[in-house]
């Protein structure tokens, strides 16, 4: 299998954290780095990797030809089937090859499994889309939203704080050393990249969300997780958009 992903993509990182922490052999799921550029607004655009057999088959580097959603991660099976969306991708990997890994990544108890999924869904469905930098840049430039630094935009901070507040109260009940109990689970794989994005927004994690902060510290101390973060440029998300292009774009739009 091949996972099309990029180190700057938080949704991709959920899956790579799962793969590495679960101990799935790298030969079972090859990581394929997407091409990367920024458009005229400074928004990151993922492209099909130059020279990849899939790109050659498609005859274009346009990601939407590969995945009509225009998003990553994408899991490609040897028979050509593709799965998208980080949640279903990890579910499929867990059901098909998870038993080969050395560390279980989900509790056995049905209630605790549901707690884990609840946290995953809050991150993937209720947090990430609303704090998404491309959406904020477009809303500023094209739909008249108040102009502010996209990474610290009030809308972004509002949704990060709203959802982290909910997570904090859930974690107070179900966290041990990690998000659900004392072993790392998929919930941590989803929380880590989201916290990383929030640190770029300037959220004071220990001060505002102490339980989430403790869980985050323990998760990033797991050697496999630390290696994934290191490969992606560190603990704080290093690149979200091209600030210079955004300034020109937003100023031009304002002047029109």
Ligand X SMILES: N[C@@H](CCC(=O)N[C@@H](CS)C(=O)NCC(=O)O)C(=O)O
Q: Does residue 85 bind ligand X (CB under 6 A)? A: yes
Is 16 a residue that touches ligand X (CB under 6 A)?
no
**3 state DSSP class of 7:** coil
> Of how many residues is the chain composed?
256
124 vs 201 by CB, closer to ligand X = 124
Binder among 86, 127, 131, 197 for ligand X (CB under 6 A): 86
8 vs 218, beta carbon nearer ligand X: 8
Q: Closer CB to ligand X, residue 46 or residue 216?
A: 46
Q: Which of 3, 4, 7, 11 forms a contact with ligand X (CB under 6 A)?
A: 11
Neighbouring C-alpha atoms within 13 Å toward the C-beta of 70:
4
**In the sheet where 82-84 sits, what is the strand order?**
30-33, 2-5, 74-76, 82-84
Q: Is 47 in the site for ligand X (CB under 6 A)?
A: no
Question: By the 8 A CB rule, do 73 and 33 touch?
Answer: no
Q: What is the 3-state secondary structure (H, E, C) of 40-76?
A: CCCCEEEECCCCCHHHHHHCCCEHHHHCCCCCCCEEE
Question: Which residues partner with 47 through β-bridges?
Answer: 35, 62
> What angle separates helix 86-97 from helix 186-200, to the nearest 10 degrees?
150
Assess 38 for contact with ligand X (CB under 6 A): no
Question: How many residues bind ligand X, per CB under 6 A?
Answer: 12
Which residue number, 14 or 153, has a Cβ lying nearer to ligand X? 14
Region of 7-15, 18-26, 103-111, 171-179 interacting with ligand X (CB under 6 A): 7-15
With residue 30 as reference, give the H or E element that holds it.
Answer: strand 30-33
Tell me, residue by residue from 129 to 168, as one string, x for binding to ligand X by CB under 6 A and - for no binding: -----x----------------------------------
Candidate list 46, 159, 216, 246; residue touching ligand X; CB under 6 A: 46
Interacting residues with ligand X (CB under 6 A): 9-11, 46, 70-73, 85-86, 124, 134
């Amino acid at each position: 299998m091949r996972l099309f992903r990029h180190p700057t993509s938080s949704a991709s990182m959920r899956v790579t954290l799962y793969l590495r922490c679960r101990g799935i052999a790298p030969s079972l799921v090859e990581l394929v780095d997407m091409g990367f550029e920024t458009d005229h607004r400074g928004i990151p655009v993922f492209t099909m990797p130059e020279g990849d057999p899939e790109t050659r088959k498609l005859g274009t580097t346009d990601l939407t030809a590969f995945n009509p959603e225009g998003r990553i991660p994408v899991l490609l099976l040897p028979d050509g089937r593709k799965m998208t969306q980080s949640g279903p991708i990890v579910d499929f990997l867990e059901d098909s090859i998870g038993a080969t890994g050395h560390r279980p990544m989900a509790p056995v108890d049905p209630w605790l499994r549901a707690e884990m999924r609840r946290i995953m869904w809050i991150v993937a469905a209720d947090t990430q889309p609303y704090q998404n930098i491309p959406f904020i840049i477009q809303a500023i430039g094209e739909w008249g939203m108040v102009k502010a630094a996209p990474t610290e935009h009030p809308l972004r901070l509002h949704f990060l704080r709203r959802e982290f507040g909910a997570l904090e109260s859930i974690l107070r009940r179900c966290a041990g050393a990690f998000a659900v109990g004392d072993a790392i689970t998929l919930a941590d794989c989803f929380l880590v990249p989201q916290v990383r994005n929030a640190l770029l927004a300037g959220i004071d994690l220990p001060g505002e969300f102490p339980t989430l902060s403790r869980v985050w510290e323990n998760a990033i101390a797991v050697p496999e997780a630390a290696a994934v973060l290191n490969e992606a440029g560190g603990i704080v998300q290093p690149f979200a958009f091209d600030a210079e292009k955004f300034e020109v774009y937003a100023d031009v739009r304002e002047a029109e």
